[in-house]
Amino acid sequence: TGQVNLGVIPGDGIGPEVTTEALKVLEVAAPGDVKFAQTTYDLGAERYLATGEVLPDAVLAEIRDQDALLLGAVGGKPNDPNLPPGILERGLLLKLRFELDHYVNLRPSRIYPGSVSPLSADVLGKGDVDFVVVREGTEGPYTGNGGALRVGTSAEVATEVSVNTAYGVERVVRDAFARAQRRPRKKLTLVHKTNVLVNAGSLWWRLFEEVAGEFADVTTDYCHIDAAMIYLSTDPQRFDVIVTDNLFGDIITDLAAAITGGIGLAASGNVNPDRTAPSMFEPVHGSAPDIAGQLIADPTAAILSAGLLLDHLGHPEAAARIEEAVIADLAAREPGARRRTPEIGDAIAARVAG
């Protein structure tokens, strides 16, 4: 209730295109007594190329004071000579996730009636696909712990060291158990590679087992990351909640998107469960330079991400209205028909408005 300070980072490529539609839907979905005070931050490739700035400290400080954040996507064309690799990904997106302590990267996956899955009728016939990936968001191989020696020579050695702390693993595992406990099936699967990554794997396994003791009614399961890829494509119904590390979670959730109707539908929340800083909501997809500027991107993932934002702010009914509107929109999609980005946004907004 009252005023919500909303920071918006449209970003690059299709980011601004889909964010416009998400904001449209957010406005009509929010309860009447919620007023958004919006601040837009022009962070991304354009600003970097014009000024050399990625995320100035003063801007980060302002962002930290918002109640919630909505992000489109950041990143330029692959291998653009003017844009060093990772400059925006690491310096902007990951910096926000780390600085704002987004240790739960929440990525729900559902096959909605009406979404077009590439899975066979055989696989789909086994039942509903509805799971959520709790991807660790502040550690793993993403921390930038590593380096390169003798760069450019035939003796070059490059390392990216995965950082896993007991503190970081335990808090995300506990959050995942709590989420599993709130769902009807109450099942949590740890996905890792404990047979090879024995140091990190032992830590994850030990804490998973320990925290399981506090959630006696949650069924636990484990699979190695490689086998998890098999099950996602042959038996996705076995998953309810998945908890996993930062990099495995990144990969799992693109496949999860692909099997549940496409990357254009996959929403995410970078959540700070302790609410010591604003959480940030964004589609799973990137800036899609291959289709940017044509207004043909599907804004549904960004719209569903706005729904996750409303849910996080304590408005589950508004979030549900968005999801219902998306389901209705998907059901009404004509195969082969190509609607433009704003048409999809308008259609979903109209359904939310009733």
Just list the catalytic residues: 142, 193, 226, 250, 254
CB 146 to ligand NAD: min, Å:
18
Give burial (CB, 10 Å; 0-12/13-18/19+) of 174: middle
104 binds ligand IPM (CB under 6 A): no
Q: Which two tokens stand for residue 42?
A: 């022009």
**Residue 292 annotated as binding?**
yes
User: Please, which of residues 43-102 interact with ligand IPM by CB under 6 A?
Assistant: 75, 89, 93-94
**Residue 353 annotated as binding?**
no
Q: Which two tokens stand for residue 65?
A: 């004071």
CB 148 to ligand IPM: min, Å:
19
Q: Is 45 helix (H, G, I), strand (E, B) or coil?
A: helix
Nearer to ligand NAD, 124 or 291 (CB): 291
**Residue 66 annotated as binding?**
no
250 binds Mn ion (CB under 5 A): yes
CB 256 to ligand IPM: min, Å:
11
**Residue 135 annotated as binding?**
yes
First to last CA, the chain: 22
Nearer to Mn ion, 67 or 250 (CB): 250
Residues paired with residue 148 on neighbouring β-strands, in sequence order: 158
Distance of alpha carbon 190 from alpha carbon 260, whole angstroms: 21
Type of residue found at 14: I
CB atoms closer than 10 angstroms to residue 316 = 12
CB 350 to Mn ion: min, Å:
31
Nearer to ligand NAD, 192 or 285 (CB): 285
Distance of alpha carbon 259 from alpha carbon 119, whole angstroms: 6
Nearer to ligand IPM, 21 or 250 (CB): 250
245 binds Mn ion (CB under 5 A): no
Q: Which residues lie closer than 8 Å to 139 by C-beta, 6 or more apart?
A: 162, 163, 164, 165, 168, 169, 245, 246
User: Please, which of residues 140-179 interact with ligand IPM by CB under 6 A?
Assistant: none
Q: Which residues lie closer than 8 Å to 166 by C-beta, 6 or more apart?
A: 203, 207
| Binding residue positions for Mg(2+) | 226, 250, 254
Write out the residues near Mn ion by the rule CB under 5 A.
250
Write out the residues near ligand IPM by the rule CB under 6 A.
75, 89, 93-94, 250, 284, 286
| Binding residue positions | 97, 107, 135, 226, 250, 254, 286-298
